[in-house]
Structure formats: C-alpha cells, structure tokens
Amino acid sequence: MIDSHCHLEMGQFDADRDACILRAMDSGIEAMITIGTDVESSMAAIGIAREYGFIYATVGIHPHTASTFTEGETYDQLKALCADKRVVAVGETGLDYHYDHSPRNVQRDVFVRHIELAQEIDLPLVIHSREAIQDTLEIITGCSVKNAVLHCFSGDMRMAEVLISRGLYISFSGVVTFKKAQELRDIAQMVPDDLLLIETDAPYLAPQPYRGKRNEPSYLNYTAGVIAQVRGISPQDVSRITSNNARRLFGVGEVASSGTITYKIRDSLYINLTNRCTNECIFCIRYKNDFVKGHNMRLPSEPGVDEIIAAIGDPVAYKEVVFCGYGEPLIRLDVVKGVARYVKSRGGTVRVNTNGQGNLINDQDVLPQLAGVVDHISISLNAQDAQTYERLCKPEFKGAYEGLLGFAREARHYIPVVTLTVVEMAGVDIKACQAIADDLGVNFRVRHLDVVG
Ligand code: SF4
C-alpha cells in the first residue's frame, strides 16, 4: 500500500520516527508521501525523503499558515524546493474555513498561487479543503485544475461528483472508519476505482481502533479494511487499486505498462484473453482506462491456451475462473474451450462473461460446445429493446439484439446458471430488462456504470 499523505517531519515523530517507518514497512506500506505545510517543514520532508528511497516529499504552504506566504520570496522558495528529485507534488494547499487561522481572502490567493506553481512546473497538486466546498470548487474550476488530489476528503456527495467529473483523485483518511461517518463511507463506495486514494494524514486522525491517539502510516490497514468493506472487495484489491493510483498521480514506482493475462479480484481469478470486441458500447470502460481494479488490461498480444493455463496455476485456489477481459471472450472460442476444459478437469468452476453474440461471431451454435465445461454464463443484455441496444452498444452484427436473446434462451439448455446483466444508465428500462430475464427464466443482475470487476 501507499500512504498518499502523512507528515513524517512533524515533531510528534521526533522520538520514534525510524521505528514508525519500520513499522509501516512491516505492515505492508511500500511508499509514503510526506507532506510539507510551510517552507521549513517542506525542507524537512525533503530531508526525510532523501534518507529513505521509498518516501517522497511535497512542498507547500498549508491554508493555516497562508498568511506567511509572501509573493516573490515564498513562491520562489517553493519553486526552488520543487526542483529536488524527491519532490513529487505541490501542496498541501487549499482552504480551511473551520479554523480560519489565515484570513479567507489570503487563503484563496495563496491557493491560486500554488495552482499556478503546480501548472508552471507540471507537478500534481495536493489540496486541503475543510468547510469550504463552494470556494474550493470555484477555484478548482476557475483555474482548470487537472492533476490533483483532494486529500482527507470531508466534503459532500455533490463535491465528490464535481471532482470526479474533472478526473481529480479523492483520498480517504481514518475518518472513514469513525462510527458516525456514514455519509463519507457512502462517498467512498461510489468513487471510481481509478480516482481512489487512501492516506493516514499521520500524526492526525488515527482510524478506529486508535482514534484519539497519535496516528502513524502502519495504521493505513484499518482505513483500507473499511474501504474494502464498503466497496465489496478485498483489502488486497484496495491496496492494489490505490497504490496504482498513487504511482500514477505522483509518478513514483512502477506502473504496469502492459496487460495481464490473469488477474485476481476478491477470491475469483479473471482471464483476459482478448481486447477485441464486436460491440462498441458507449459505456465501455476500455475507452476510458487501461486498468481494472489496479490491473492493466491492455494486452500486448493475445495469449494461447498453454500460456493461460500456466498463468492460472491451480484453479481450485479460486472461487471461480472467469473469462472476462477488455474484449469478447467468445471471439476466441477454441481458446475458451481449451482453458475451460483444463479448469474443469482440475475441479475448478468456470464462468464466461459475454455479449451474447457467440453464435453470430462464430457462425455456428457454440452453446453445445460449452456444455459441461462452463458452469455459469453471464450475458450482457444492456437494453430493453433492439433500438436502445443499437444506440448504446453499437454492435458490428445486424440483428445482434435478437441474436443475444436467442442465445440467452438456448443457453439454459446447456449451461447450469445463466444471468442477464444490464448497466444502470439513462435510457435503460431496468424493469423491462428484468421482465425479459424473468420471461426467459434466467437470473438478472444490475451493474453500476463504470464499476467493473
Ligand atoms: S460488450 Fe463489453 S467489452 Fe465489448 S464494448 Fe461492450 S462493454 Fe466493452
């Protein structure tokens, strides 16, 4: 995991800073971003980052001390500090109308100067905002902020939606573990995977069960655990997703540059065997992002049966093995059959996620060939009628919608479990889709837009 925001230079760590850093490493923290809050602490943060290869620094003036900012001198000092290789962002900066330690107009001016600095030197920005939703959003929008994180998010759903629409990261601290923080947990549930970060903000805001005590990076596990719970994924998934995001935002560590053949989410193993598809769904995540739950899906080439089997290993180690990547698996029917046979021969369970056009793609009835090797087939219905399907999914084949309905109808005779799915979005009549599934006598599942895996 990466602690995307902590203050290791602060006096609260003077007595045991090295021990804290060691505890963080022992608890699985691979990197920490230690955050400057004034010129002095920014220099101290750089000092720590120089000492430890896995700690990085940021440089900025916190809104509490915004009145110390002087045009020319402070700006130039910050800019000079940013030239250090260990500095990965500008901030923290922003607005704090809870304490109002600096006059609000000064906070706003200094926030804007930080944005200008970040844009001038092309570094991401770390933003603090407390009880200042409207002004924060106005400044972010007015200054066209594009590359930033709103740290220790404490805003409302509307604020989160604006940040998400601008492609800005949202970071959750230990506050998300507090009993009364249900609204924050609701927001933590809906932030897209590719914009989610976690942090400790140590020494502040220790998560449950350490609330009220000094916080430290090793406690990040507690925050990750709650985020995993509310998002219905595993702590390992949270770790992978947020670490990958931190690497991308701050440019630290290695981000996988090409796609993976198999990838684990929760306790299932997914197989990514092609990036080709016969649809061009307007909501398809592959047009927005290379990553699913922190796994790169952009294959350099399509893997063969042996390569996939080698990547699976023991299929019984997983609840199920799922054919589902950035493309339509049944485009590679023979590979699906070969791998599925292997999984079944080893006692595993197989699911295929498909757009339901297998018969059109292969110009033959593929279902009898999947009988006995596929336990569950999940078919993307996506629309209540052919016209809506054409508009949303832009299929390559004429009659694709009728084709998928026929496929779903027949699938029941060959595959034990059949599910139709739809993505919840404007123009999709969920009740009518449910009625189609009921009529066909198959299961029905509604998926949330942009939530994959
Ligand atoms: S069918 Fe699936 S993979 Fe193909 S474009 Fe639609 S969402 Fe993407």
Task: Please tell me the residue having the least CA distance from ligand 1 atom 8.
Answer: 284
Q: Which of these, 224, 290, 223, lies nearest to 263 by C-alpha position?
A: 290
Q: How far is the CA of 328 from the centre of ligand 1 (A)?
A: 7
Give the pLDDT confidence score for residue 271 in this predicted structure.
97
Report the pLDDT value the prediction gives residue 289, as an integer from 0 to 100: 87
Mean pLDDT of 274-302: 94
Please tell me the distance between residue 354's alpha carbon and the centre of ligand 1 in angstroms.
8
Q: Say if residue 396's pLDDT is above 90.
A: yes
Give the pLDDT confidence score for residue 405 in this predicted structure. Answer: 97
Question: Is 356 close to ligand 1, i.e. is its CB under 6 Å away?
Answer: no
How far is C-alpha 116 from the chain's CA centre?
27
Closest to 242 measured CA to CA, from 60, 32, 92: 32
For the chain, what percent of residues have pLDDT higher than 90?
96
Q: Is the CB of 124 under 6 A from ligand 1?
A: no
- Ligand 1 neighbourhood includes 277 CB (under 6 angstroms): yes
Average pLDDT, the chain: 97
Residue 229 pLDDT > 80, yes or no?
A: yes
416 CA from centroid of ligand 1 (Å): 24
Any bridge partners for residue 418, and if so which? 377
pLDDT of residue 325: 82
Give the pLDDT score at 163: 98
Per-residue model confidence (pLDDT) at position 288? 86
> Which atom of ligand 1 lies nearest, measured to the CA of 325?
3
Answer for the pair 268, 318: CB distance below 8 angstroms, yes or no: yes
pLDDT tens string 87-96: 999 999 999 9
Closest ligand 1 atom to 380 CA? 1
User: Is the Cβ atom of 280 under 6 angstroms away from ligand 1?
Assistant: yes
Averaged over 387-412, what is the pLDDT?
A: 97
Residue having the nearest C-alpha atom to atom 3 of ligand 1: 327
Tens of pLDDT along 339-383? 999 999 999 999 999 999 999 999 999 999 999 999 999 999 999
Chain-centroid distance, C-alpha 280 = 23
**Least confident segment among 140-149, 210-219, 292-301, 444-453:** 444-453
Would the pLDDT of 220 be above 80? yes
CA of 396 to the centre of ligand 1 (A): 12
Query: What class does CATH assign to 2-250?
Result: alpha beta
Q: Is 327 in the pocket of ligand 1 (CB under 6 A)?
A: yes
The answer, yes or no, to whether residue 450 has pLDDT greater than 80, is no
Average pLDDT over residues 408-425: 97
Q: Tell me if 279 CB under 6 Å of ligand 1.
A: yes
- Identify the CATH number of the domain defined by range 262-448: 3.20.20.70
Atom of ligand 1 nearest to the CA of 277: 4
Quote the tokens at residue 39. Answer: 């010129």
Count of residues making up the chain: 453
The pick from 272, 273, 278, 281 for probing ligand 1's pocket by mutation, whose C-beta has the most ligand atoms within 8 angstroms, reads 281
To test the ligand 1 pocket, which listed residue (286, 331, 448) has its Cβ within 8 A of the most ligand atoms?
286
pLDDT at 123 over 90: yes
Q: Angle formed by the axes of helices 220-231 and 182-190, to 10°?
A: 70
The structure's pTM equals 0.92
CA distances in angstroms from 253 to 32, 243, 244, 256, 391, listed in the order given? 11, 9, 9, 10, 41
pLDDT, position 452: 72
399 CA distance to ligand 1 middle (Å): 17
Give the per-residue pLDDT at 74.
97
**Cα–Cα dist 211/401, whole Å:** 54
- Residue minimizing CA distance to atom 7 of ligand 1: 284
Cα-to-centroid distance, 352 and ligand 1 (Å) = 13
Which residues of the chain does CATH 3.20.20.140 include?
2-250
pLDDT reported for residue 449: 77
Asked whether 411 lines ligand 1 (CB < 6 A), one says no
Question: How far, in Å, from the CA of 84 to the mean position of ligand 1?
Answer: 44
- For residue 129 and ligand 1, the question of a CB distance below 6 A is answered with no
**What is the location of CATH 3.20.20.70 in the chain?**
262-448
What is the phi/psi pair of residue 367, to 5°?
-60, -45
Residue 277 CA to ligand 1 center (angstroms) comes to 6
User: Alpha-carbon distance 106 to 71, whole Å?
Assistant: 11
Beta carbon of 365 within 6 Å of any ligand 1 atom: no
Question: How does strand 295-296 pair with strand 291-292?
Answer: antiparallel
Cα 349 from chain centroid (whole Å): 27
The owner of tokens 């404007």 is: 426
Residue among 394, 385, 397 at smallest CA distance from 427: 385
Ligand 1 atom nearest the C-alpha of 423 is: 7
